[in-house]
Amino acid sequence: MTIDAIAPGAAGHFQLWFYAAVLRLIERIDAASADDDAVAVFPFLAGYLAAAEAHGAILPLTEESLAAWQDRITGWETRASVHLPLRALAREAGLDPTALLLLISAGLVEEDARFGAIFEVLHGAPGQRRPTLGLLSGWLGGTPGLGDVRAALRGLVGAGLLQVPNPDAPAAEWVLHPPGLLWECLQGAPVATLTPWARFMPLADLAGLDTLILAPDLADEVQRLPELLASGTLPAIAIRGPLYSGRRTLAGALARAIGRGLLVIEGLEHPDDTRWRLAGPLAAALGALPVIVADPAPGESLTVPALSAYGGPVAVIAGPAGGLRGPAIERGLGLSLGMPGPELRLAHWRAALGDDGGDLHELSARFRMASGAIRRVAGAARASAALEGRTRVSIADARRAAHALGRQSLDTLASLVPPGPETETFAASAETMRELELLATHCRHREHLAGSLGAAFGGQRSCGVRALFSGPSGTGKTLAARRLAAAIERDLYRIDLSAVVNKYIGETEKNLGRVLARAEELDIVLLLDEGDALLTRRTSVQSANDRYANLETNFLLQRLESFEGILVITTNAPQRIDDAFQRRMDVVISFGLPEPEERLAIWRAHLPASAAIEPAALEELAYACALSGGQIRNAARYAGLLALEAGVPFCATHLLSAVSREYRKAGAICPLRGW
């Protein structure tokens, strides 16, 4: 058997270098003692000697035989046409054979715990089972042809290829070991999910540039990028856009075009994070394009440091807000992926569903979503149809899938407001109803509105719809928002202020930015109840609290200006809202207490058909008691509870008690007597 019997691959390549490190260790032990034989003292080494000899190593071990073994490894590498992580790392990091030998030698005990006993003996210190910088320097420092071993070890430490758990100790006592994750990658272990913060996608699993659906001008620009990235002319590229806008797919296609896999790295927010030192070595070993996923909030910046042991390009994926910094980023290029227009959405639906998509034009018009959201919804909608034994996807299937996607993305910061039958019986003044109908029309045609406006609007007209509902408590503002969402067939989510507002500076703005972005991407209606809590008037700065409160208000003003979703804000204290917010509202609808006819309609909608109440008595109640819609709802519920408790049919007595209770709650006297 010769070295050629080892099949080309990561595991075989690692095995050859592992043998080289073991042979060097045995030769050094034998050379250090004229009386003791390494195999005699440590019998397990005989197995390694036999395996290396079977693959062509020459015994007894001498400097010449060890050099010959490394030459054979070099020849084997030349003949191997597959990806070898150890070779790729050596090329990217500029490692010579000495550095590779030191790297593997420092990790011997990681592979076979029995080497720990050898290091204990060599150190003369029980418990010191990993090699130190001083040991490896002395071990190989006097070997002809191996150069400056101490400098090579320091270089490996500096590049993050060797870790030092005791950096405060004298340099000679530094304990050295390779990062466990990198050690596994060098052996070709399955690395689809390396760690919670890093995920690898091989080149074969990535989409090609020709499969991407992009706007024509962006597609032309993207086609020119691979050559610039591969040549080193373009050291970095930043891809910005909404969460589901296809940023990772584009990064993967660029990686495939330059012959690399994709290493997705998340959660590294600070340049001093020690995981940055591992990002470069992992990308080099895997032959991957490192993609840094960032989500800086407005006013924040992410600094991407230079990656050690890696010489290729870097990609960064970020949202529309925040800044990006770093030596490569500052010399790089930025791309922006916005929300796709109707034609691009149609192309995405067609690519995702093909002939199973039903009316694709209706799907494209109905769901104004980012491209990635369309693909996710299409997949889930196809599964929903299959569950019912159908192959053709319907609008209802897509709505269910979009609903599920919204729950996954929004539940931490907003809560779903379920639709209810009461939206059908909503009562308000004719003027209010007319305004609500116009608002629904605006929402339906918001994407095409700009085309019907004059040139003065230019490109500043966004697809966003911002509505303010103001009026006393209980006048139906939230119910009107539910009615709007039902009319335009969208889910309604209420912002959870307890989850959004944070005592730490900047966190509230970050949470608000996140929930507004998700609302844009998923095409839902977002409800900000009691909006005056966030949209307060700016004040003169007399304390640090005033300054930061004004900053929060300024952020919301700017964000609402660019918001492209549908936002409904309700308030019963419009005087507390900053005037600048009111100017940014597309629609302001006032809700007043219902008139007698409206109150009568509300009473009829809330009372059971079996209620034993004379029509004339109900009319008297509606005209005499100026209650709000919310109070009427509460009274009807309480009256029903009284009827259930008494075990008798719902009657006027129960209703009178309930109405009197509402007046007592408000600190007033019920005008009905002996009814």
What's the number of domains the chain is made of?
A: 5
pLDDT: which is higher, 550 or 287: 287
Spatial distance between the Cα atoms of 102 and 355, rounded to a whole number of angstroms: 59
**pLDDT grade for 520, boundaries at 50, 70 and 90:** confident
Residue 674 has pLDDT above 70, yes or no: no
84-88, 290-294, 622-626: range with lowest mean pLDDT = 622-626
**575 inside domain:** yes
42-46, 143-147, 601-605: range with lowest mean pLDDT = 143-147
Average pLDDT over residues 205-213: 94
**457 inside domain:** no
The domain in which residue 552 lies consists of: 421-449+462-590
* Tokens found for residue 96: 């010579």
Question: What pLDDT, on the 0 to 100 scale, is given for residue 229?
Answer: 95
pLDDT: which is higher, 84 or 592: 84
**pLDDT grade for 281, boundaries at 50, 70 and 90:** very high
Question: What pLDDT, on the 0 to 100 scale, is given for residue 147?
Answer: 54
Question: What pLDDT, on the 0 to 100 scale, is given for residue 536?
Answer: 64
User: Are 32 and 72 within one domain?
Assistant: yes
Across-strand partners of 568? 467, 527
Average pLDDT over residues 614-619: 86
User: Are 12 and 154 within one domain?
Assistant: yes
Summarize pLDDT for 628-664 with one digit per residue, the tens.
Answer: 888 888 999 999 999 888 888 888 888 889 999 988 9
Residue at a domain's end among 157, 186, 215: 186
**650 inside domain:** yes
Average pLDDT over residues 354-379: 86
Highest mean pLDDT among 379-393, 497-511, 568-582: 379-393
Question: What pLDDT, on the 0 to 100 scale, is given for residue 550?
Answer: 58
Average pLDDT over residues 357-386: 88
Average pLDDT over residues 393-415: 85
**pLDDT grade for 451, boundaries at 50, 70 and 90:** low
**pLDDT grade for 425, boundaries at 50, 70 and 90:** low
Average pLDDT over residues 165-179: 94
Residue 78: CB atoms within 10 A of its CB come to: 9
Question: What pLDDT, on the 0 to 100 scale, is given for residue 583?
Answer: 81
Summarize pLDDT for 543-581 with one digit per residue, the tens.
Answer: 444 445 556 667 777 788 888 899 999 988 877 777 777
Residue at a domain's end among 556, 590, 624: 590
Residue 298 has pLDDT above 60, yes or no: yes
Question: Do residues 311 and 287 make contact, with C-beta atoms less than 8 angstroms apart?
Answer: no
Spatial distance between the Cα atoms of 226 and 224, rounded to a whole number of angstroms: 6
User: Are 320 and 381 within one domain?
Assistant: no
Q: Tell me if residue 442 falls in helix, strand or coil.
A: helix
User: Are 505 and 530 within one domain?
Assistant: yes
DSSP 192-240: SEEETTEEEE-GGGSPPGGG----HHHHHHHHHHHHHHHHTS--EEEEE
Find how far residue 567's CA is from the centre of its chain: 23
CA dihedral 261, 263, 264, 265 (to 10 degrees): -170
Average pLDDT over residues 582-596: 87
pLDDT: which is higher, 497 or 93: 93
3-state secondary structure labels for all residues of 32-96 = HCCCCCHHHHCCCHHHHHHHHHHCCCCCCCCHHHHHHHHHHHHHHHHHCCCCCHHHHHHHHHCCC
**pLDDT grade for 429, boundaries at 50, 70 and 90:** confident
Question: What pLDDT, on the 0 to 100 scale, is given for residue 309?
Answer: 94
User: Are 390 and 276 within one domain?
Assistant: no
**What proportion of the chain, given as a percentage, has pLDDT over 90?**
41
Question: Do residues 358 and 392 make contact, with C-beta atoms less than 8 angstroms apart?
Answer: yes
Summarize pLDDT for 7-37 with one digit per residue, the tens.
Answer: 889 999 999 999 999 999 998 888 776 566 8
Q: What is the mean pLDDT of the chain?
A: 86
**483 inside domain:** yes
Question: What pLDDT, on the 0 to 100 scale, is given for residue 543?
Answer: 47
User: Are 397 and 441 within one domain?
Assistant: no
User: Are 173 and 26 within one domain?
Assistant: yes
Residue 541 has pLDDT above 50, yes or no: no
Indicate which CATH number applies to the domain containing 619.
Answer: 1.10.8.60
Indicate which CATH number applies to the domain containing 533.
Answer: 3.40.50.300
**675 inside domain:** no
User: Are 70 and 164 within one domain?
Assistant: yes
Summarize pLDDT for 87-123 with one digit per residue, the tens.
Answer: 999 999 999 998 999 999 999 999 999 999 999 998 8
**454 inside domain:** no
Spatial distance between the Cα atoms of 406 and 524, rounded to a whole number of angstroms: 8
User: Are 304 and 327 within one domain?
Assistant: yes
User: Are 26 and 79 within one domain?
Assistant: yes
**170 inside domain:** yes
Residue at a domain's end among 305, 336, 367: 336
Residue 670 has pLDDT above 90, yes or no: no
Question: What pLDDT, on the 0 to 100 scale, is given for residue 544?
Answer: 44
**Burial (0-12, 13-18, 19+ Cβ within 10 Å), 519:** buried
**pLDDT grade for 457, boundaries at 50, 70 and 90:** low
User: Are 54 and 163 within one domain?
Assistant: yes
Residue 466 has pLDDT above 60, yes or no: yes
**What proportion of the chain, given as a percentage, has pLDDT over 70?**
90
**578 inside domain:** yes
User: Are 210 and 142 within one domain?
Assistant: no
